[in-house]
Amino acid sequence: MNKINKLFAENKDRKLLSLYFCAGCPKLDETGNVIKTLERRGIDMIEVGVPFSDPMADGPVIQEAATQALKNGMNLKLLFSQLKAIKDEVSIPLILMGYLNVMMKYGFEEFFKTCAECGVSGAIIPDLPFADYLELKPIADKYDIRIIMLITPETSEERIRFIDDNTDGFIYMVSSASTTGAQQSFDEAKQEYFQRINGMNLRNPRMIGFGISNKQTLESSQQNAAGAIIGSKFVQLLSEADGNADKAIDKLYEALNH
Active site residues: 47, 58
Which residues have a Cβ under 8 Å from the Cβ of 243 and sit 6 or more positions away?
26, 27, 30, 34
Side chain identity at residue 127, one-letter code: D
d(CA 227, CA 207): 5
Asked if 180 and 231 touch (Cβ cutoff 8 Å), the reply is yes
SS3 for 116?
helix
Outline where the chain has alpha helix (H). 3-10, 31-40, 60-72, 76-86, 100-106, 108-117, 130-142, 157-166, 188-198, 215-223, 232-240, 245-256
Query: Kind of pairing, strands 122-124 and 146-148?
Result: parallel
Name the burial class of residue 99, with classes exposed (0-12), middle (13-18) and buried (19+) by CB atoms within 10 angstroms of its CB: buried
Side chain identity at residue 163, one-letter code: I
Asked if 20 and 49 touch (Cβ cutoff 8 Å), the reply is yes
Side chain identity at residue 112, one-letter code: F
